[in-house]
Amino acid sequence: MTWLRRALVAAALAWTTGARADPAVTVGEVSIEVEAIDARCGDPCLRLAAEVQERKAATLETLVGEALLANAPAVLPAAVSEPAVDAYLATHAADFHGPAARDRAAVRFFLEREARRDATKAAIVAERARRPPDIRIATDDPTLADQAPADRVLADVGGRPIRNRDVEARLAWPLYRIRGELVLDRRRVAEALVEETLWAREAAARGKTPGVLRDDIRAAVHVSDDDVRAAAAAARRPDGEPPPLERVRPYVLFRAERAAEERFLADAAARAGVRIRLAPARPPRLELGPGALGWRGPEDAPARVVFLTSHRGEITRRMWGVVRRVAAEPGTALAVRPLLPQWDPEATAVAVALRCAGWPLVDAVADHAQPPSSEELTALAVSLGVDAERFRTCAADPATAAAVAAESTEAERLGLDDPPAVLVDGRPFTGMQKPNRLRAVARAARRLASPTPIH
């Protein structure tokens, strides 16, 4: 709908969720509420709106659990026994390739993490029974999906309020993506409803039905023989004859009729004053430090790039090349952090190796589409000047794997759970990205920090 897209460029757009003082769409005196848009949209919009609500309900439960345990003693799960490690290794032998000490450390860490999660859940249940939190919104309340009001108290845990903004902040990135998709679906439906409303208004003003009005507009369209010949010439293949004119004429007539309708609707929209208040929110900016490896480049660089990697897959390998090019520009600092939302012993081993060997090993392993083996990691580290015994001791220490998992968890808490991901000046990007898109964000950050132009 070319006419409407042009109108939207000039319109003042505002995206709101929650209590809206204005309707989502106005066409003259006609108001179209978001509920009507969702009713027409059907399952796509309902599914996305339900996903926002479900995500927020789950995160509210998480925040309540964290608040319940905030002042409680640390959760101490039962120790993982050697037979439990042996049993896991025997059951999942294909996932481990040595050395044995590192494999055992990785399994012990995984089993301890699962035991800690189970113990934490049990502790939350016990605390909840001892001092029940005041939950002030039902999980099936549709207003839970609203962004506003931000200071609305959704729950209270012993005098500690959990507000809507707290839940929104924890889910900033996933909610931005879901709501962005929802806005696109709603705008598609809104454009159709606006067009229907304009046809109805204009037809009523002329004492006609919309169908008759459209027939009249199309009937007034004339297509000349010259128009048809020009279209046929444009459709000629480089090595062939133009298509027959009798085949081209219906297509040219259809386009001319549609253009006439669009001109009519554009004029009607201008006179009616169409306003569509459905615009996507600005992308969030996520705060995440450089992790154990620190920054490569000046720590006070105005542009900061954080690459979050699972050390696995062709997209990860290619994105490393993109990130390196972006970070190579002056005034840019680069950090590399693990993002391992799924249990992956081989990828964890690479993250552990990087933590033990530091930046020299990053470039050596980043070009691999699949995680290098244990022997390859050790050989690479030694070839880069890392002491072999120190490296092996560090890699086999369960505390190293625990620290890697903690780094990943910090990113996951921000909703980053789909590696590879990149933060450029705090703005998140996931999957394969073009260098120019990331470079533009980094350059904008440098321009804001510099009184003189930076190219």
Cβ neighbors of 96 (< 8 A, separation 6 or more) are: 89, 103, 106, 107, 345
- DSSP H/E element including 274: strand 274-276
**pLDDT of amino acid 286:** 93
The arithmetic mean of pLDDT across residues 400-409, rounded, is: 92
Domain positions in the chain are 1-220+262-284, 303-449
pLDDT > 50? residue 36: yes
Q: Quick one: what percent of the chain has pLDDT higher than 70?
A: 94
The packing angle between helices 210-219 and 172-205, to 10°, is 80
- pLDDT tens digits, 205-214: 999 999 999 9
At 73, is the pLDDT very low, low, confident or very high (cuts 50, 70, 90)? confident
**pLDDT of amino acid 451:** 55
pTM: 0.76
Burial of 75 (0-12, 13-18, 19+ CB in 10 A): middle
Cis? peptide before 99, omega within 30° of 0? yes
- pLDDT tens digits, 181-228: 999 999 999 999 999 999 999 999 999 999 999 999 999 999 999 999
Give me the amino acid identity at 90. A
pLDDT > 60? residue 17: no
- pLDDT tens digits, 309-326: 999 889 999 999 999 999
CATH code of the region 303-449: 3.40.30.10
Task: Pull the structure tokens for residue 52.
Answer: 């926002």
Cβ neighbors of 228 (< 8 A, separation 6 or more) are: 245, 248, 249, 252
- pLDDT tens digits, 355-401: 999 999 998 888 777 888 888 899 999 999 999 999 999 998 888 98
**pLDDT of amino acid 216:** 97
pLDDT > 90? residue 424: yes
- pLDDT tens digits, 87-113: 999 999 888 877 787 788 888 888 988
Task: State the chain's mean pLDDT as an integer.
Answer: 89
Q: For residues 387 and 362, is the Cβ–Cβ distance under 8 A?
A: no
The arithmetic mean of pLDDT across residues 28-35, rounded, is: 93
Cβ neighbors of 418 (< 8 A, separation 6 or more) are: 341, 430, 431
The arithmetic mean of pLDDT across residues 265-282, rounded, is: 92
Task: Pull the structure tokens for residue 385.
Answer: 């000047």
